[in-house]
Chain A
């Protein structure tokens, strides 16, 4: 009976091979999704309006190759429906498969000429095809068959007749070996061991693994058994309890209980170790290391990827002629006394290792020498070679070692990549990748990364087992040599900080789509990015300062009350309607919105932001500009703020050496002096100069009893009054700034400190925390009056409205109404993080002196807050995302993308009066 199913790798490029009339299209349609099939006929149709126009073949195949390339790039199985009978036709497709590290598969549909002839005769568009076409196709196909393997096809299915073809009922898609996305960990990822057995034992124990030596009674026994720690038990606690057990109670009975427990493994999920390869060579006990790792892998308590040393050993064990160097001799000597059965176990084990693994839903990739994003989850010789050896530039360094191409510098993938291979003095994050080879065998340390915790655990080498050709810290030495003079006060910035010195334009220009925690994706339009690029490049601070930009804030919906555009009732209604039970009302200060990034000292800024010699902090505006233009005032302001925080015990309380605050800096005129003069004062001056003269002329006209003069005069007098009120309104927010004492900072959000954001704290907490802080220096810091209002209590709501009425009557700008939770989720998802409710007098400087005149206000009520609110949500999501990324230690480009996004969105066309 012919087979009824074909097996192909889940990610493969499948070429159907067969003459015209062989039934390729029918076969493809029957067994694959329509979108998976790229057909040469269809491409011909697209470029020539005629699927049989052979003159269009060149263009058609260019299109076909283009489509195939796009699909493969995106990791999609693709079926090429073309005759593919000629090697020159297959060659570019195999090349594409190689380029995208996808396995090429051939399915040959081999039908007799007569059948093909008969089928073509049924189709009017193919009736004209001569017999010779099919014959020549078949001839080429025959010739091809024996070469397919050589051409690079990894799977070849030859279906020899119509019966075999029709028998196929399904295609089985085999998972790639490297796909372990369902394994979510938690993991302990261990760098290059190189035969350092004692250190490996020590590290595993420190990580909470229990290692038991066993007697070997069977050839399959490896003599060691490891039990992984249970998930959710703190490793350090476990270490101490183990120590206790070791000192106080080392009875055999206890060990036995533990062993039984480990065998049953019924008490919940356990952690899993991952070895990054290079288990052997150079070190003192490669066979023991192999034994332990093999045992763990066999038990399912570990995964292992191969290193170049392991593969070389395998080749040797397989009888290949390999040069015995770089520590292989030691390994072979150590293996010498081992039984043959163990050696063949080792061979089988090494042979079965998969180049890399994609784990935890694609969030983690492990490979010995690392792996670029394009290669992750793919299968090809190139992928395996990269995973084993990395990439070298072809150059040789001063130590005679190949210069390695630092792929991690350019890495931009979503997955975290843990790797080893290149010994480094310290395991350091760089673009979400980490090299865990800390050169144990060279006298360094053996390091593990706890995932997802991102914690590093290491044990020192007991001794130097092998002298490195190139010193472990050669890079640091190199840098030192370069900057002989500067070396003494040379700042210690991390590799990530250095990498962050230069951002890539691709991360910000063009249309951007930014994934955020709060909203699925925020799209930045290209023309907005264009405007933001200019502002960011010409006016903004160094991007390392810009951790966060605040979102825009929508006003309430328009009030229907006479003489008012805004009133708190609409804000309360909005939140109540969407299921919010209490809100926090905060007095709105009319100043400049600023973000403050402040370090306890310059070293903190250097350590955390990688900025050297730029002071202890910055105060910047909503568009990322330095608030201060006067450097002396800036320095004094920051120092005084830092002292206030120190006085308040802030650094200790929050266990941090830096802070990010969201605040209002008063007075308005401090930053906006020019604006106040050229716009606000100017308008009042013009009005108050012109209107009295108009009044005088109209008074004369009215005296002449001219019809309509009286009405015009009344209107002009009203305008004159309006202009006077308007002048009073802007003057209220201006006072001269002669010194530091004239500046007031009113912080209202404690955004972040080391390792933490405070988006999970409610607004009452923020208000209280910052009020306490402000007591440390009331001359500089202003506590914001606020009240918590339960929306279900009409009396409280009424009192809050009265509060607003009093505030605004006294000339206050108004208030901001925020839901109690910082990140408000309501019935319809994310809610407005805040709504502003501005007072009648204040709005004169927004809507112009005459806005309350009859006829004007009614028209101004026709405003729509929808676009503004939409924008506020997107900017809020981006702002939160950016700061969370920063706090999580992500590369600057990931933070900058969000900050840039907020700036870009701010260039959207929205009524600025809202």
Chain B
């Protein structure tokens, strides 16, 4: 909420010319989300400090957003840190208050902007993903970085430090224009919040400002991803309301999607939502070219399905439609039904598969429906094959009987493919402590023996034959990362 810029350049009051703001006056202006006040706590020839105080209006902030984006009413919007931290709102205010300086123009002293100055910057406060991040972002640009930590609650010492830091930057000689640009781009990158962003256009504009120096920045991958996160951020408002105060991770949508993304230990580098064209150039250099474990899994399942040349295929828990895309490519499959419990994942699948623009004939091959594997559903009858890729481990064990009844008792496709993580393999994940699961939402992870026991019992109860397959590279003693059970209906 407070940014101060100090210099000992002589005369220090030239800062006023550079910023195009008179040190003798306190000025206020309307900015996105509230008011900005610009004033000088000190203004002598030796040392001059300009302060930008951002006073966000929490009430209008909420009202405005609720109407415009329909993002609505999650309670956290009312009681939140926005009024106190440096966020994209501060960037917006910077650009409005010091736009001229940022562009490097100074009417009264045209040579001044090119001048490098000794500068000290203070931001109170930033919210950062960790105490090392301010350093990682600003040191490569030549700053001396210092942070002050603050406890989460001094009355509860065991809670430790809060994610809020007072940030001090010092630079021996830099153009003011560059400093402003660095702050403009990097302050929102530090910020932890995922709900408040100024919109796609703004995010692109912000990133554009980094054009000169960003490609050389060692943390460009992180910086880019944080921006892409702003772009991809999408919260299902109705669901959000239900989950209020219950689970902070729910807006990360369906299990399938989460698996490929952050929250899962399987991918070293968290993947991001698909970038739009403007972002792609920057993003590509940062993404790992190698197929993720999840993609390997999907290809193997698709391959297995294709071997059986089924005509009608179910993808139960289709998530964002990665398997659907693979299945659509198989010419002999006449019809594919993708089902997921998350409406949001389905919307994403529809958009990724370009459902609306599909030619009519292809369109008739695919339908997406919201459904739950815990409820009997007659829409699932009459299929040759069904895939449940990384689905069962997202259900409480006492609900597996319902899933079993729905899939094997009622829908009864000729072939069923069920994949799940192999817990035996977990010891090979460095980040995973013993007994921990690969994903927050996993309710269990089974050893190969446990999975085999379940699969065999299910097969027996429902007159299927079952075959167990490892998925991914086998490691002696622990097996493959994932495991699959292939069920084939017995001919009666």
Contact = CB atoms under 8 A, between A and B. Distances in A.
Interface of A: 501-509, 527-528, 530-539, 542, 614, 621, 623, 625, 672, 674-675, 677-691, 693-694, 697-698, 700-701, 704, 706-709, 712, 727, 731, 734, 845-850, 856, 859-860, 903, 906-913
A708 B80 contact: no
A502 B159 contact: no
Select the residue from A503, A706, A860 with max chain B CB neighbours within 10 A. Answer: A706
B246 A683 contact: no
A912 B25 contact: no
Given A534-B341, A683-B81, A542 B241 contact: no
A504 B26 contact: no
Contacts of B402: 501-502
B78 A504 contact: no
Contacts, number: 216
B59 A909 contact: no
Nearest to A525: B238
B75 A912 contact: yes
Interface string B367-390: 000111111111000000000000
Interface residues of B, number: 80
Contact of A537 (B28, B74, B372, B376): B372
Contact of A539 (B53, B73, B162, B247): B247
A688 B370 contact: no
A502 B84 contact: no
Interface stretch (B99-107, B149-157, B304-312): B149-157
B165 to A, nearest CB: 8
A849 B373 CA distance: 44
Contacts of A621: 246
Contacts of A706: 24-26, 39-40
B164 interface: yes
A532 B25 CA distance: 56
A681 B160 CA distance: 11
A697 B53 contact: yes
Contacts of A860: 59
A681 B236 CA distance: 26
B91 interface: no
B73 A912 contact: yes
A684 B4 CA distance: 22
Interface string B137-179: 0000000000000111101100100111010000000000000
Given A542-B396, A701-B26, A912-B78, 4 more contacts: A623-B242, A685-B151, A689-B125, A698-B53
Given A505-B371, A712-B53, A731-B153, A682 B162 contact: yes
Contacts of A731: 153, 155
Contacts of B467: none
Nearest to A691: B84
Contacts of B74: 912
B121 interface: no
A690 B79 contact: no
A542 to B, nearest CB: 6
Given A677-B159, A693-B124, A623 B153 contact: no
B41 interface: yes
A614 B399 CA distance: 12
B281 to A, nearest CB: 35
A846 B153 contact: no
A685 B162 contact: yes
Contacts of B442: none
B335 to A, nearest CB: 20
B166 A504 contact: no
Contact of B239 (A534, A698, A846): A534
A689 B243 CA distance: 30
B59 A689 contact: no
Interface in B233-252: 236-239, 241-248
B127 interface: yes
Interface of B: 1-2, 4, 24-26, 28, 37, 39-43, 51, 53, 58-59, 72-76, 78-81, 83-85, 122, 124-125, 127, 150-153, 155-156, 159, 162-164, 166, 236-239, 241-248, 255, 341-343, 370-378, 394, 396, 398-399, 401-402, 405-406, 409-410, 441
Contact of A697 (B51, B156, B243): B51
B25 to A, nearest CB: 7
Nearest to A613: B398
B343 A531 contact: yes
A332 B52 CA distance: 107
A623 B410 CA distance: 28
Contacts of A542: 396, 398-399
Contacts of A727: 153
B12 to A, nearest CB: 14
A686 B164 contact: yes
A534 B25 contact: no
B162 to A, nearest CB: 4
B125 A686 contact: yes
B84 A907 contact: no
The B contact surface, by secondary structure, is mixed
B124 A690 contact: yes
Contact of A533 (B40, B125, B341): B341
5 contacts: A503-B375, A530-B370, A531-B236, A685-B162, A848-B80
A694 B72 contact: no
A909 B166 contact: no
A74 to B, nearest CB: 22
Given A542-B399, A689-B125, A700-B41, A535 B78 contact: no
Contacts of B371: 505, 509, 533
A910 B378 CA distance: 34
A685 B375 contact: no
A501 B410 CA distance: 13
Given A538-B394, A701-B26, A846-B79, A681 B241 contact: no
Contacts of A693: 2, 122, 124, 166
Contact of B153 (A675, A685, A708, A709): A685
Nearest to A683: B81
A141 B296 CA distance: 70
B346 to A, nearest CB: 10
Contacts of A507: 375
B360 to A, nearest CB: 21
Contacts of B373: 537
Contacts of A908: 241
A681 B246 contact: no
Given A709-B39, A848-B79, A859 B59 contact: yes
A674 B153 CA distance: 13
Nearest to B76: A679
A133 to B, nearest CB: 40
Given A530-B238, A674-B248, A909 B81 contact: no
Contacts of A534: 239, 341-343, 372
B84 A689 contact: yes
B229 to A, nearest CB: 18
A501 B125 contact: no
Select the residue from B37, B153, B156, B394 with max chain A CB neighbours within 10 A. Answer: B153
Contacts of B122: 693
A159 B150 CA distance: 97
B40 A686 contact: no
Contact of A906 (B78, B85, B241, B401): B241
Select the residue from A537, A678, A712, A846 with max chain B CB neighbours within 10 A. Answer: A537
A508 B124 contact: no
B1 A535 contact: no
A848 B58 contact: yes
Contacts of A704: 40-43
B312 to A, nearest CB: 19
A625 B406 CA distance: 22
Contacts of B396: 542
Select the residue from A533, A621, A689 with max chain B CB neighbours within 10 A. Answer: A689
A533 B153 CA distance: 38
Nearest to B342: A534
Contact of A907 (B151, B153, B238, B399): B238
B433 to A, nearest CB: 17
